[in-house]
Copies of this chain bind each other. A is one copy, B any other.
Amino acid sequence: MYECLVDGEISRYVETTNRGLNYGDGLFETLSVMRGRPRRWQAHMDRLGAGCERLGLPMPPQAILLRDVQTVSAGLAATVVKIVLVRSGNGRGYSPSKVSSCVRIVSAHAYPQGLAHNAEKGVNARICKLRLAIQPALGGMKHLNRLEQVLASSESIGDDHTEGLLLDCENHLVSAISANIFLVMGELLLTPRLDQCGVRGVLREQILKAFGSRCEQRRIMVDMMTEADEVFICNSVRGVVPIVSIDDLEYPVGPVTREIQSWLEKCEAS
């Protein structure tokens, strides 16, 4: 980690009473920042705002968050910036106080290596054993309760190059552990609805907006994956990554995935 601000002050510490630590009572965003410019900033802010509204947290002004992001990424060509918003209060008693405020933690991290290689060649994937719980009160939200993702990641310790895919407890496909997923069927782009679990990724939203007429958000049973022509995953830092296998199924890196990658490249260059 390069630098970290807590409520705008340089610090690497939070209090042990922090409600994020004690309950996971908060939200986060992970941004790709290029020469001080966060990509998809408004989409990140919109999602954070929607999460704040659902949790009853007051959203800090965007200008303050942007200043924090620019401070921690100053002088860096490419960096990942994580914003964590936690409800203020002490760590005993679940009940939030009547008037909530937020602690904001903004930190810069090394940009991952090998992204271009993965985007070109694709990655292998496996279906995780862990099934995501169905919880409409939290579905789609990028909140801090991430034990399911930790447990799913633990299934393949030592095999970091295989992407874990998550199904819910009714065996619907939801996402990769930290990316959204699309199945390509002909010209059609199918992606799971995320009203019951999973995280509504900002790049997923951007794809849904740009390719709306060809996209469908729906429940995807696991056996539909045999019918897909192509599969790709996406997240804000990693971009669009082809999936070349899921367990024993193999997929080509096909023209639709390449089309979305080209579109993204143009978006990010502008």
Give me the interface of A with B, judged by CB distance under 8 Å.
Answer: 1, 4, 6, 11-25, 28, 55-56, 80, 82, 84, 86-87, 90-96, 98, 105, 107, 109, 130-135, 137-138, 143-154, 157-158, 160, 169, 177-178
B23 touches A21 (CB 8 A): no
B16 touches A107 (CB 8 A): yes
A109 touches B96 (CB 8 A): no
A14: chain B residues within 8 A (beta carbon): 13-14, 16, 18, 21
- Each complex incorporates copies of this chain amounting to 2
A93: chain B residues within 8 A (beta carbon): 153
B13 touches A146 (CB 8 A): no
A95: chain B residues within 8 A (beta carbon): 150, 153-154, 157, 160
A23 CA / B145 CA spacing, docked (Å): 5
6 new A-B pairs (CB below 8 Å) besides A13-B13, A14-B14? A19-B150, A20-B20, A23-B149, A25-B146, A91-B107, A94-B178
Residue of B nearest to A56 (CB): B154
Residue of B nearest to A139 (CB): B133
A205 CA / B109 CA spacing, docked (Å): 44
A94 touches B177 (CB 8 A): yes
A146 touches B23 (CB 8 A): yes
A19 CA / B91 CA spacing, docked (Å): 16
B154 touches A147 (CB 8 A): no
A91: chain B residues within 8 A (beta carbon): 1, 82, 107
- Give min CB distance, A109 to chain B, whole Å: 5
B147 touches A138 (CB 8 A): yes
Q: Can you give 18 A-B contacts (C-beta < 8 A)?
A: A14-B14, A14-B21, A16-B84, A16-B105, A17-B107, A19-B150, A20-B21, A20-B22, A21-B84, A23-B150, A24-B147, A25-B150, A82-B91, A94-B149, A96-B157, A132-B135, A133-B135, A145-B147
B6 touches A153 (CB 8 A): no
User: A154: which of B16, B24, B96, B146 is its contact (CB, 8 Å)?
Assistant: B96
A53 CA / B25 CA spacing, docked (Å): 25
User: A21: which of B21, B92, B96 is its contact (CB, 8 Å)?
Assistant: B21
